[in-house]
């Protein structure tokens, strides 16, 4: 299986008035061609930042990115902004969490959709609009011609997300990042969107990275899973292996916290008791230690390395699930 | 729905005009000395009584205002009182208003066309050296009063370099270049302060916009930074800027007194100042009313433009 | 989590502190009053011994003017922006919160004041308010000062009021406000606990910007003869120095530098404070 | 030549000689060889605005210069100070100087084509004394009413001849008719024009009105002007002039330097620095007026504290005039040695209190002893004017040194003027007195300019206040007043001067007012402006080159396009 994207030792640091903040620490990730990889973690675990950093979408004077990202045989981290930009749309594309904020409120759907067609694929205006309508019907939007003339605020959340998917796939990308594509949507719509994404991935032969906090979503729609916590990958395996042989207490905690159906869209999940560690002033031991019911003294003192449990199953824990030492009640 | 919004907005603006003019007419009533005494310092009591009747001051605040308003809407803006006769305010405004309007429009165009690129650029480079240099330069500029800038311009461009005339106004009919030559320096001195405030407004809104997902989204489509900035980020960030520009209109029409004096571009600002210092309160009332009407008209225009620039505001209005 | 301040921030705080110190204790500094005419030093350039910043063409010592001018300039700016900001945001926040007829009255009032140019408004107010019946009794400086501050306050009220109103409108539609209302919380509580903290950052940013604007407006007013005539203010000094540009440029640029430092410092401090107050900016 | 005017104190006897030398040296600058060229327009920057052109609208200084391109005066003043007929053909007077027969020059017409004749002269004089009874609102004579109050009546005796009857004999009646260049030959059509009197000036001058505003006067050549030059060319040479009110000194200076202005006028009151700078500029010619302008400190006798002589004496002694001139005027003008300057016929140093701090303190003590109060007064100055504030502060410094409390009163110019003539201030500084004669001195020191005429036409009208309104110190001093009337009746010039000087001495010893320094005016023009001061008066003799109302534009021309 050849690699679509390979991320090596990725670090992302933000300079803030409070000091340097390391949002992503030494992340290694392999995205095989044609596969669907899930990245799971709480809000603030660094999954979105890691993906945006991998794509090269983070900019600003306060961002520092280290490590290597190889996409489709090309080393993105060694390329100029211009060269990376040429990979966007046709190579990589992204779907954002909140379709409310990710569509430009002042531009018509047609303009936003046809823009990349015209600029990236060199279509003329008419052809681009015709193709836009096709794309809209591809994502199952009824009456696509009328939709082209609308503004985002005139659409429902599900419709917006479909529009965004249409934009993302418009230039036939090889790799699609879907950053919590369903979090902001109603539960009923969530399933439809995920179904649509899976079908599109199959039909268009894309690789996909599905970022989510919902292990349930991962189980149904991905081939590989990486669990992130406090900027690090803490567990990584094929989806089947992970659910069969869970190693991390954190992953288990995630699994136990199923999103509440009554929860309002956009609201942050506080799925596990306690808080993420302060990213500026990290504890020297395991980041999960204050919230882990299995924590030992060693967890406080030493940072666990990434260990291999076989079958490509990696985890970062001194006392993984199934370990035999005595646990606290 | 939309229609009712405009009706409501128009009514609101009309009320503004009434409020301002009524306030002015109250001011005339509140004066410690009778206006007739001020307007006719060497007149006899009979003459003053006659004048009081003529102006309508004997009718009480409401009656006076009604009379003034009735005359105002028929184009009679009242008189400026001399010791020997009167002069119609409308005549004064006929020369002063075009000057002020042109001065204001040019100033806005210059200020916006400098501030927009600067604001967009410094938001794009936020926190970097370019941004810091731009911000601090602008703050320094904004702390120099426009009359000081005017005098420095006069000294350098007019006296030392002899590039431009330092005085007088020429209408457009005297030739475009002739007109422009006399407008460049007044317009520049009025623009500098505005550039600073506009850039700052735009920069702040742009920074907020650039944090939005749809900007990252646009970038992820492989668009160039330039295109992302101008096509995607600028428009949604510009509503505050244009609203603020509209708010400045009145100030530029009537408040450019000192710059008008330095360059002898005597416009409405000077007329208003002359009316105040010459105690021509009737004339003042009409002049302020005119400024207010233009202010209201420009604000209405900006409302229309804002609706076009940011369709969300249309929606918001309907909900409001 | 203590915030680390940068050198410019220290400079800005330092300068403002210095200016405020001058404003409060300037009159106790043992130097000649700003109104003393130094006949033998007319037109002296800066760094003349005894006159660090030089002397203008009327014989006024510029150093003394800067020290004493701080008082009036800072006082006028702080009071009119503070008072105008307070009244304006009070009106703006409550208008946007309660809506209805009260809101349209407040909004119309804002529009009425905004449509009259600041200078014209201040000129007219001073013309009416700062006159005395007995002509030989000078209108006391405090009354002129109050009139001036009042005029500038009236100018500031709608500017900050509109911002407060717009921000409140945006926030009062948010779920947590609606939720708080639906839980039967008192209006006063909702305003003070939920709305004000969110509206404040924008207000502070504009308020600090307004400080510079007010100082300059005061300069224009004293140029037109309605400032504090016998008082020293930086604006007044700039206005007085205007005819000296060709002969004694220092009479113009030294007060401008003092003013520029203050404006840059207030803006910088405004940014820092906004950053501290606006927790949302802490997020990435 | 300008140094001639700069000197300090001069002996009385030298005054006439100085004036004579001055007048000779002013004639014929070097450009006399060039032949005047017609055409071209000038831009002139001035420092006064145009309040209007009716009788009560007093055009001040530089605005007067502009107004005098439209208006001429019945008589003109020669460089030596003598008043000679101008629009008048000839003047005859009775032996007792109470009847004056004025004959109008034939063939002169107003800009609107109406002829200048006896009727026009009657209307002009009557309007100036407030004697016109008109339908509706009669044009007020304004302060001119006070100047002309000695006139009893005016009758036309022939088409072009008018007889003026005076109440008191007045040798210098022509000076009154001249009123320091302010008594214009106004067309009856303007005077009787009702609502347009203030805004439509119609005169006989070399230029006529194109447009006017508060800040601007545009005039164009009057093609029917009555004068021509020595070669028979129709005057004036210029096609038009634009006068612009530029209140900022810097605007006028930079306007000249940037060639936006051809001519600009300045005053030594606050613009010395700029005048000195312009004098050094090689591209400009700067001419100065004589120091014939005498700003006074008026002390109101009607109210405390200056109803007490000690108070007035204290103030007069307390002012360090030499220091004031050094600090405030860079020694550009002379410190005062009398209430009027050395060029004036009334000049007399006797009784004038020079700076003496000891005596000032004594007078303050005497005031305190008499009234039981500390000496304290308010003093208005123009708010927003640095110069005005600095002047007032400087005076305040001298007062404080003498133990007098002087409160500064910041007011707008309009307020000051409005309150000055009803004599509401305790004390104030105002430039009123000027010239070499007494027409522009006497009305300000006399309590009744009608000379006690109980049957005067204004006596029963509200305008009767005009008799005394000009006397800002609001005093009634029968001794000096009678001396002045007596001098006005004295035919012999030397004897007359003696009486005048005695009047001055009385005024000074009573400390009715005091003077700090004299004043002069400057005018700078660019090298393309020619003919300044070259054209003489119509019957020979020259004008003063430069006055408070600038220069005469009839003979001015412009080189180049």
In chain A, pLDDT over 70 holds for what percent of residues? 91
Q: Residue D220's pLDDT is what?
A: 96
Q: Which chains form contacts with chain B, at 3 or more CB pairs under 8 Å? A: A, C, D
Whether the per-residue pLDDT at C281 is higher than 80: the answer is: no
pTM equals: 0.82
**A20 close contact with C: CB closer than 8 A:** no
Residue D87, C-beta contacts closer than 8 angstroms, at least 6 positions apart: D72, D73, D74, D75, D104, D105, D108, D116, D185, D204
Tens-digit pLDDT profile for residues C98-132: 888 888 889 888 888 888 887 788 777 776 776 66
The enclosing domain of A278 has a CATH number of 3.40.50.300
Q: Does residue A321 lie within any of the structural domains?
A: no
CATH of D72-196, one of 3.90.650.10, 3.30.420.40, 3.40.190.10, 3.40.50.300: 3.40.190.10
Check whether residue A54 and residue A152 sit in a common domain. no
Tens-digit pLDDT profile for residues D241-259: 999 999 888 889 999 999 9
Check whether residue A165 and residue A227 sit in a common domain. no
Check whether residue A284 and residue A144 sit in a common domain. no
Average pLDDT over residues A20-39: 88
Average pLDDT over residues D4-10: 28
Whether the per-residue pLDDT at A260 is higher than 60: the answer is: no
pLDDT confidence band for A258 (50 / 70 / 90):
low
Whether the per-residue pLDDT at D135 is higher than 60: the answer is: no
Contact D177, D76 (CB under 8 A): no
Residues of B with a Cβ under 8 Å from any A Cβ are 125-128, 212-214, 216-225, 227, 231-232, 235-236, 309-312, 315
Q: Residue D335's pLDDT is what?
A: 94
For testing contact with chain B, the best of D43, D190, D198, D466 (most B CBs within 10 A): D198
Average pLDDT over residues D380-400: 87
Residue C193 structure tokens: 């606990």
Check whether residue A155 and residue A215 sit in a common domain. no
Chain C residues within an 8 Å CB radius of B11 = none
Tens-digit pLDDT profile for residues C208-264: 778 877 887 887 887 777 777 666 788 888 888 887 888 888 888 898 888 888 888
Asked whether the beta carbons of residue C284 and residue A278 sit closer than 8 angstroms, the reply is no
Average pLDDT over residues D325-345: 92
Residue D95's Cβ-count burial label (10 Å; 0-12, 13-18, 19+) is exposed
Q: Residue D109's pLDDT is what?
A: 93
Q: Helix, strand, or coil here: D343?
A: coil
User: Among all chains, which residue has been given the structure tokens 């100036």?
Assistant: D128
Check whether residue A240 and residue A297 sit in a common domain. yes
The whole domain housing A149 covers 104-170
State CA C107 to chain mean position distance. Answer: 23
Quote the CA–CA distance of D256 and D262 in Å, as a whole number. Answer: 6
Q: Residue C124's pLDDT is what?
A: 76
Residue A219 structure tokens: 């189980």
Residue A233 structure tokens: 């990958």
Closest C-alpha among D180, D204, D203 to residue D191:
D203
**A17 close contact with C: CB closer than 8 A:** yes
Asked whether the beta carbons of residue D257 and residue B264 sit closer than 8 angstroms, the reply is no
Going residue by residue through chain B, which has 320 residues, state the pLDDT in tens, using 9 for 90 and above: 456 777 877 887 788 888 888 888 887 777 766 777 777 666 667 777 888 888 887 888 888 888 888 888 888 888 888 777 788 888 888 889 999 999 999 999 999 999 999 999 998 888 788 888 888 888 778 778 888 888 889 888 888 888 988 888 888 888 899 999 999 999 999 998 889 888 988 888 888 888 878 888 888 888 888 888 888 888 888 877 887 888 788 778 877 888 888 898 888 988 888 888 777 888 888 888 888 888 888 888 877 777 777 776 555 444 43
CATH code for D22-71+205-290+520-561?
3.40.190.10
Shortest CA gap D542–chain B (Å): 34
Shortest CA gap A193–chain B (Å): 18
Chain D residues within an 8 Å CB radius of B38 = 418
Q: Does residue A325 lie within any of the structural domains?
A: no
**D349 close contact with C: CB closer than 8 A:** no
Could you tell me the residue ranges of all domains in chain C? 69-277
Give the best-scoring range by mean pLDDT among A20-24, C17-21, D279-283: D279-283
Q: Which chains form contacts with chain A, at 3 or more CB pairs under 8 Å? A: B, C
Q: Residue B288's pLDDT is what?
A: 86
Tens-digit pLDDT profile for residues A190-202: 888 888 888 888 8
Our answer on whether A and B touch (3+ beta-carbon pairs < 8 Å) is: yes
What is the average pLDDT score of chain C? Answer: 79
Which chain C residue is nearest to residue B156, measuring alpha carbons? Answer: C246
Check whether residue A145 and residue A66 sit in a common domain. no
Contact C107, C161 (CB under 8 A): no
Quote the CA–CA distance of D148 and D140 in Å, as a whole number. Answer: 13
Asked whether the beta carbons of residue A61 and residue B232 sit closer than 8 angstroms, the reply is no
Contact A41, A212 (CB under 8 A): no
Listed in order, the ranges of chain D carrying CATH 3.40.190.10 are 22-71+205-290+520-561, 72-196
Contacts 24+ apart (CB under 8 A), C180-189: C187/C97, C187/C98
CA separation (Å) from B292 to B91, C111, D546?
A: 18, 10, 47
Chain B residues within an 8 Å CB radius of C216 = 143, 145, 193
Q: Residue D4's pLDDT is what?
A: 29
Contact B274, B92 (CB under 8 A): no
Where do the H-state alpha helices sit in D293-338? 309-318, 321-329
Check whether residue A221 and residue A255 sit in a common domain. yes
Asked whether the beta carbons of residue B312 and residue A88 sit closer than 8 angstroms, the reply is no
Chain A residues within an 8 Å CB radius of C3 = 17-18
Q: Which residues of B92-114 are buried (b: 16+ CB within 10 A; e: fewer)?
A: bbebbbebbbbbbebbbebbbeb
Tens-digit pLDDT profile for residues A116-128: 888 888 888 898 8
Quote the CA–CA distance of B290 and B271 in Å, as a whole number. Answer: 12
Contact C59, C39 (CB under 8 A): yes
Average pLDDT over residues A220-247: 89
Whether the per-residue pLDDT at C198 is higher than 70: the answer is: yes
Cis (ω within 30 of 0) for the bond into B85? no
What phi and psi values does residue A26 have, to the nearest 5 degrees? 45, 60
Q: Residue D110's pLDDT is what?
A: 95
Whether the per-residue pLDDT at A115 is higher than 90: the answer is: no
Quote the CA–CA distance of C217 and C236 in Å, as a whole number. Answer: 10
Shortest CA gap B231–chain D (Å): 45
Q: Residue A324's pLDDT is what?
A: 55
The larger pLDDT score, comparing residue D111 to residue C282, is at D111
Check whether residue A181 and residue A213 sit in a common domain. yes
Check whether residue A179 and residue A75 sit in a common domain. yes
Q: Residue D428's pLDDT is what?
A: 92
Contact B153, B188 (CB under 8 A): yes
Cα angle: A228, vertex A231, A236; to 5 degrees = 30
Which superfamily does D293-514 belong to?
Answer: Dipeptide-binding Protein; Domain 3 (3.10.105.10)
Closest C-alpha among A18, B143, B234 to residue C268:
B143
Shortest CA gap B24–chain D (Å): 21
Shortest CA gap B180–chain C (Å): 25
Tens-digit pLDDT profile for residues D255-314: 999 999 999 999 988 889 899 999 999 999 999 999 999 999 999 999 989 999 999 999
Check whether residue A244 and residue A217 sit in a common domain. yes
3-state helix, strand, coil in chain A (%, to 5): 35, 25, 40
Look at chain A and report how many structural domains it folds into: 2
> C residues 175-234 near B, CB within 8 Å?
205, 209, 212-213, 215-216, 219-220, 223-225
Cis (ω within 30 of 0) for the bond into C186? no
Listed in order, the ranges of chain D carrying CATH 3.10.105.10 are 293-514
pLDDT confidence band for C175 (50 / 70 / 90):
low
Tens-digit pLDDT profile for residues D174-205: 999 999 899 999 999 998 877 788 889 999 99
Whether the per-residue pLDDT at D504 is higher than 90: the answer is: yes
Interchain CB contacts (distance < 8 Å): C and D:
82
Residue C222 structure tokens: 């004293």
What is the average pLDDT score of chain D? Answer: 87
Check whether residue A129 and residue A232 sit in a common domain. no
Asked whether the beta carbons of residue C284 and residue A17 sit closer than 8 angstroms, the reply is no
Our answer on whether A and D touch (3+ beta-carbon pairs < 8 Å) is: no
Q: Residue D133's pLDDT is what?
A: 62
What is the average pLDDT score of chain A? Answer: 83
Q: Which residues pair with A11 in a beta bridge?
A: A66
* Partner-chain residue, chosen from C139, C223, C247, that has the shortest CB–CB distance to D277: C247
Shortest CA gap B107–chain C (Å): 16
Q: Residue C135's pLDDT is what?
A: 63
Whether the per-residue pLDDT at A87 is higher than 50: the answer is: yes
Tens-digit pLDDT profile for residues D426-437: 999 988 899 998
CATH of C69-277, one of 3.40.50.2300, 1.20.1070.10, 1.10.10.60, 1.10.3720.10: 1.10.3720.10
The larger pLDDT score, comparing residue B281 to residue A24, is at A24
Asked whether the beta carbons of residue A18 and residue C284 sit closer than 8 angstroms, the reply is no
Shortest CA gap B179–chain D (Å): 14
Beta strands at A36-40 and A224-229: parallel, antiparallel or unpaired: parallel
Contact C70, C215 (CB under 8 A): no
Q: Residue D518's pLDDT is what?
A: 93
Q: Residue B317's pLDDT is what?
A: 43
Quote the CA–CA distance of D310 and D308 in Å, as a whole number. Answer: 6
Interchain CB contacts (distance < 8 Å): B and D:
119
Check whether residue A83 and residue A164 sit in a common domain. no
Tens-digit pLDDT profile for residues D148-171: 889 998 999 999 999 999 999 999
């Amino acid at each position: 299986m050849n690699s679509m994207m390979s991320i090596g030792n990725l670090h992302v640091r933000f300079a803030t008035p409070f000091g340097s903040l390391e949002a992503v620490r030494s992340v290694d990730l392999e995205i095989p061609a044609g596969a669907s990889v899930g990245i799971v973690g709480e809000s603030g675990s660094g999954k979105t930042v890691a993906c945006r950093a991998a794509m090269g979408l983070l900019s600003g004077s306060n961002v520092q990115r280290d490590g290597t990202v190889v996409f489709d045989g090309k080393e993105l981290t060694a390329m100029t902004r211009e060269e990376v930009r040429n990979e966007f749309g046709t190579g990589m594309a992204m779907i954002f969490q909140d379709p409310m904020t990710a569509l430009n409120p002042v531009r018509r759907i047609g303009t936003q959709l046809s823009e990349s067609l015209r600029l990236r694929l060199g279509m003329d205006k008419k052809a681009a609009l015709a193709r836009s309508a096709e794309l809209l019907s591809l994502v199952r939007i009824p009456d696509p011609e009328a939709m082209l003339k609308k503004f985002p605020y005139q659409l429902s959340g599900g419709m917006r997300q479909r529009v965004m998917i249409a934009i993302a796939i418009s230039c036939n990308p090889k790799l699609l990042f879907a950053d919590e594509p369903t979090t902001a949507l109603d539960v009923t719509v969530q399933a439809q969107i995920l179904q649509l994404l899976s079908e599109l991935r199959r039909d268009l032969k894309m690789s996909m990275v599905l970022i989510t906090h919902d292990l349930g979503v991962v189980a149904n729609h991905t081939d590989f899973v990486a669990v992130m916590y406090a900027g690090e990958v803490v567990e990584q395996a094929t989806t089947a292996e992970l659910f069969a042989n869970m190693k991390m207490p954190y992953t288990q905690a995630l699994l136990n916290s199923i999103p509440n159906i009554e929860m309002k869209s956009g609201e942050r999940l506080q799925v596990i008791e306690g808080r993420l560690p302060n990213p500026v002033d990290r504890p020297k031991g395991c980041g999960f230690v204050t919230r882990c019911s299995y924590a030992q003294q060693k967890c406080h003192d030493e940072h666990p390395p990434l260990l291999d449990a076989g079958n490509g199953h990696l985890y970062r824990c001194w006392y993984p699930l199934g370990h035999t030492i005595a646990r606290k009640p | 729905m939309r229609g009712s919004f405009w009706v409501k907005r128009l009514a609101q603006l009309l009320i503004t005009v009434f409020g301002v003019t009524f306030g002015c007419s109250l001011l005339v009533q509140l004066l410690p000395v009778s206006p007739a005494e001020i307007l006719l310092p060497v007149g006899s009591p009979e003459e003053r009584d006659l004048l009081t009747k003529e102006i309508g001051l004997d009718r009480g605040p409401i009656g006076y205002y009604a009379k003034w308003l009735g005359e105002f809407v028929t184009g009679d803006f009242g008189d400026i009182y001399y010791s020997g006769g009167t002069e119609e305010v409308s005549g004064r405004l006929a020369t002063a208003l075009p000057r002020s309007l042109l001065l204001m429009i040019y100033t806005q165009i210059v200020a916006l066309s400098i501030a927009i690129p600067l604001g967009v650029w410094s938001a794009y480079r936020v926190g970097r050296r370019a941004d810091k240099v731009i911000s601090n330069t602008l703050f320094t500029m904004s702390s120099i009063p426009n009359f000081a800038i005017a005098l420095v311009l006069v000294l350098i461009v007019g006296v030392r370099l002899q590039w431009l005339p330092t005085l007088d106004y020429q209408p457009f009919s005297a030739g475009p270049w002739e007109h422009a030559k006399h407008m460049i320096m007044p317009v520049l001195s009025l623009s500098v302060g505005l550039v600073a405030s506009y850039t700052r407004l735009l920069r702040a809104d742009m920074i907020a916009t650039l944090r939005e997902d749809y900007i990252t989204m646009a970038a992820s489509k492989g668009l160039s930074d330039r295109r992302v900035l101008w096509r995607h980020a600028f428009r949604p960030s510009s509503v505050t800027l244009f609203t603020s520009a509209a708010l400045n209109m009145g100030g530029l029409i009537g408040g450019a007194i000192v710059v008008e004096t330095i360059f002898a571009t005597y416009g409405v600002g000077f007329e208003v100042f002359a009316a105040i210092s010459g105690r021509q309160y009737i004339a003042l009332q009409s002049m302020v009313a005119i400024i207010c009407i233009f202010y209201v008209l420009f604000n209405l225009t900006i409302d229309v433009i804002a609706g076009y620039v940011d369709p969300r505001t249309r929606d918001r209005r309907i909900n409001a | 989590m203590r915030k680390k301040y940068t050198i410019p921030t220290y400079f800005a705080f330092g300068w403002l502190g210095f200016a405020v110190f001058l404003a409060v204790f300037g009159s106790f500094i043992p130097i000649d009053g700003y109104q003393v005419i130094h006949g033998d030093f007319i037109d002296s350039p800066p760094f003349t011994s005894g006159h660090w910043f030089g002397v203008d063409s009327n014989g006024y010592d510029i150093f003394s003017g800067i020290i004493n001018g701080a008082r009036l300039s800072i006082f006028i700016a702080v009071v009119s922006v503070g008072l105008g900001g307070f009244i304006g945001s009070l009106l703006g926040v409550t208008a946007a919160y309660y809506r209805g007829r009260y809101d349209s009255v407040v909004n119309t009032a804002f529009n009425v004041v905004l449509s009259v140019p600041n200078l014209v408004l201040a000129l007219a107010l001073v013309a009416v308010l700062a006159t005395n019946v007995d002509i030989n009794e000078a209108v006391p400086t405090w009354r002129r000062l109050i009139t001036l501050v009042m005029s500038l306050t009236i100018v500031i009220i709608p500017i900050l009021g509109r911002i407060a109103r717009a921000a409140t409108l945006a926030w009062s539609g948010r779920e947590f406000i609606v939720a708080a209302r639906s839980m039967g919380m008192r209006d006063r509580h909702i305003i003070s606990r939920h709305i004000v903290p969110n509206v404040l950052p924008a207000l502070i940013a504009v308020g600090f910007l307004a400080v510079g604007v007010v100082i300059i407006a005061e300069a224009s007013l004293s140029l037109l003869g309605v400032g504090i005539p016998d008082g020293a203010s930086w604006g007044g000094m700039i206005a007085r120095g205007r005819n000296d540009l060709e002969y004694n440029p220092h009479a113009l640029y030294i007060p401008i530098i003092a003013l520029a430092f203050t404006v840059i410092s207030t803006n910088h401090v405004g940014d820092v404070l906004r950053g501290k107050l606006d927790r949302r900016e802490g997020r990435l | 030549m300008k140094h001639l005017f700069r000197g300090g104190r001069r002996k009385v006897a030298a005054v006439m000689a100085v004036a004579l030398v001055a007048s000779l040296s002013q004639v014929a600058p070097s450009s006399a060889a060039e032949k005047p060229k017609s055409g071209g327009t000038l831009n002139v920057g001035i420092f006064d605005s145009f309040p209007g052109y009716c009788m009560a609208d007093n055009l001040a200084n530089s605005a007067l210069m502009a107004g005098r391109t439209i208006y001429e005066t019945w008589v003109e003043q020669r460089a030596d100070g003598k008043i000679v007929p101008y629009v008048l053909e000839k003047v005859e007077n009775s032996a007792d100087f109470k009847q004056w027969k004025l004959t109008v020059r034939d063939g002169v017409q107003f800009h609107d084509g109406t002829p200048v004749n006896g009727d026009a002269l009657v209307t002009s004089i009557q309007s100036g004394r407030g004697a016109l009874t008109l339908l509706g609102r009669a044009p007020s004579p304004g302060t001119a009413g006070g100047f002309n109050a000695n006139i009893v009546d005016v009758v036309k005796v022939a088409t072009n001849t008018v007889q003026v009857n005076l109440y008191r004999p007045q040798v210098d009646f022509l000076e009154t008719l001249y009123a320091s260049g302010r008594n214009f030959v106004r067309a009856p059509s303007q005077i009787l024009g009702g609502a347009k009197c203030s805004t439509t000036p119609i005169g006989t001058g070399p230029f006529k009105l194109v447009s006017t505003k508060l800040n601007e006067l545009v005039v164009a050549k009057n093609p029917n002007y009555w004068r021509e030059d020595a070669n028979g060319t129709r005057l004036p040479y210029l096609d038009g002039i634009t006068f612009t009110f530029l209140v900022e000194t810097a605007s006028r200076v930079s306007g000249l330097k940037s060639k936006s202005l051809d001519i600009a006028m300045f005053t030594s009151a606050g613009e010395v620095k700029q005048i000195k700078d312009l004098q050094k500029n090689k591209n400009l010619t700067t001419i100065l007026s004589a120091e014939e302008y005498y700003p006074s400190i008026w002390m109101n006798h009607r109210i405390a504290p200056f109803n007490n002589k000690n108070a007035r004496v204290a103030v007069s002694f307390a002012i360090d005039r030499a220091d004031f001139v050094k600090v405030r005027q860079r020694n550009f003008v002379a410190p005062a040695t009398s209430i009027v300057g050395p060029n004036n016929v009334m000049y007399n140093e006797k009784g004038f209190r020079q700076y003496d701090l000891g005596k000032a303190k004594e007078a303050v003590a005497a005031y305190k002893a008499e009234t039981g109060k500390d000496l304290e007064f308010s003093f208005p100055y123009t708010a927003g004017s640095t110069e005005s504030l600095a002047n007032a502060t400087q005076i305040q410094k001298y007062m404080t040194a003498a133990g007098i409390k002087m409160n500064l009163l910041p007011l707008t110019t309009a307020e000051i003027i409005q309150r000055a003539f009803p004599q509401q201030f305790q004390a104030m500084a105002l430039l009123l007195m000027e010239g070499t004669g007494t027409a522009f001195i006497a009305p300000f020191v006399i309590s009744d300019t009608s000379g006690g005429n109980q049957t005067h036409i204004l006596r029963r009208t509200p305008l009767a206040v005009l008799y005394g309104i000009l006397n800002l110190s609001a005093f009634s001093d029968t001794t000096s007043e009678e001396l002045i009337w007596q001098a006005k009746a004295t035919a012999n010039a030397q004897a007359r001067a003696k009486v005048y000087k005695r009047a001055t001495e009385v005024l000074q010893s009573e400390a009715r007012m005091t003077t700090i320094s004299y004043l002069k005016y400057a005018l700078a023009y660019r090298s393309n402006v020619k003919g300044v001061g070259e054209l003489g008066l119509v019957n020979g003799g020259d004008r003063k080159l430069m006055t408070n109302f600038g220069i005469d534009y009839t003979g001015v021309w412009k080189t180049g396009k």
